[in-house]
Amino acid sequence: MSTLIDSFGRQINYVRLAVTDRCNLRCQYCMPAHGIEIVPRDHLLTYKEMYRIIRVLTELGVNKVRLTGGEPFVRKGFVDFLEMLSFNDLLDDINITTNGAMIYKHIETLEKLQKVKNINLSIDSLKADKFNEITRRNVFDEVFKTMEALEKSSMNLKLNVVVQSGINTDEINDFVRLTKDKDIAVRFIEEMPFNGKGQRSIEENWNYTKILNEIKSEFSVTEVQSEKSSTSRNFSIENHKGSVGIIPAFTRTICGDCNRIRLTSTGTFKSCLFDDGVFNLRDFLRNGASNEELKDLFLSLVKEKPENGFIAEANRKKGNVSESMSTIGG
Ligand code: SAM
Ligand code: SF4
């Protein structure tokens, strides 16, 4: 079987797929208050197109998919799509990243889908006012209730916390405290300028090292061996049920072991988070491409995967990164 190996010898086995560019929240670090310009519905990949792309990728060795957005649960039929994807016998894991504001009623169904093992819930503050200010919507209670239910569910729960200078850095250790009694992996993410307007002026640069030092100021942490392709560096804390991790998304020290490709909701293939899209799969499919042609295309596209995010960014044609993460699929 041909598999997806890039020109640096990295085996690609993970695809992140944004199922929509729409979202019910307006997080300050992700998009402007008025939202982003969403694409017409027929520009989005259909579920059948997504299924077909994922099937072909799994025939090339991909065995994990992360579904994201926008907010995946905003798209009608998303839970049915999860069921459909579960029928792909070559797929081992279906992971989901969600803001959690619409999923409480679906938790039981998700638990029944055996390949849905990991849920990443985005929650940037444990204080209702702050949370609602960050997301510009009044959904803290719903998201918090969902977090508690997910923690009790059979799925693994990770919390994504974007560390925002001057906004939620005082809560870093409150999140760490949550892991004492809850079996949750809290992951702090360096803020990136993917917000619809570019780099925002910040008081202090909360990078990996600064976040770690903040945690160490209160907790004694031990780094744990993570999977080679993990996006986070992970730590355990004595007597804590859960764990913490830091995702150096902006300082990009983890690119060497990257095993991922991305597809936007409009079918743009991205071989790196920081590139500006290298191929439009939607048009290729709609022009009648066969599965064999798709396979050949993927095999050649991964050979162009840049060595790291800095090179990808330097190669961009559309200028500095500024697009909203909701169009990329974070
Ligand atoms: N709507 C879902 C959610 O919020 O979980 C899925 C899509 S969202 C774009 C995926 C992840 O990207 C979230 O954890 C979010 O916090 C993160 N994200 C969005 N904009 C970001 C930025 N500018 N810097 C760092 N992370 C960002
Ligand atoms: Fe929506 Fe997720 Fe972006 Fe927040 S981070 S606006 S929930 S896509």
Q: What averages of pLDDT result for each successive group of 10 residues across the chain (330 residues)? A: 93 97 95 90 97 98 97 98 97 98 97 96 98 97 97 97 96 98 96 76 84 97 88 95 94 86 96 87 98 97 91 82 75
- Alpha carbon of 122 to ligand 2 centroid (Å): 8
Question: What pLDDT sits at residue 124?
Answer: 98
Whole-angstrom distance, CA of residue 323 vs CA of residue 327 = 7
User: How far away, in angstroms, is 223 Cα from ligand 2 center?
Assistant: 29
The DSSP bridge pattern shows strands 64-68 and 93-98 to be parallel
What's residue 200's pLDDT? 63
- From 20, 30, 264, 265, the mutation candidate for ligand 1 (largest count of ligand atoms within 8 A of CB) is 30
Ligand 2: centre distance to CA 217 (Å): 30
Report residues whose beta carbon is within 6 angstroms of any ligand 1 atom: 23, 29-30, 68-69, 71, 97-99, 122, 160, 162, 189, 191-192, 194-195, 249, 325-326, 330
pTM for the structure as a whole: 0.95
CA distance 198 to 96: 26
The rounded Å distance from CA 116 to ligand 1 centre is 20
H-type alpha helices, the chain? 47-58, 78-86, 107-112, 128-135, 140-152, 172-178, 208-216, 281-286, 291-303, 309-314, 325-328
Separation in Å, CA 81 to CA 42, 102, 118, 130 = 17, 16, 16, 34
Mention every residue, 6+ apart, whose C-beta is less than 8 A from residue 280.
266, 267, 268, 269
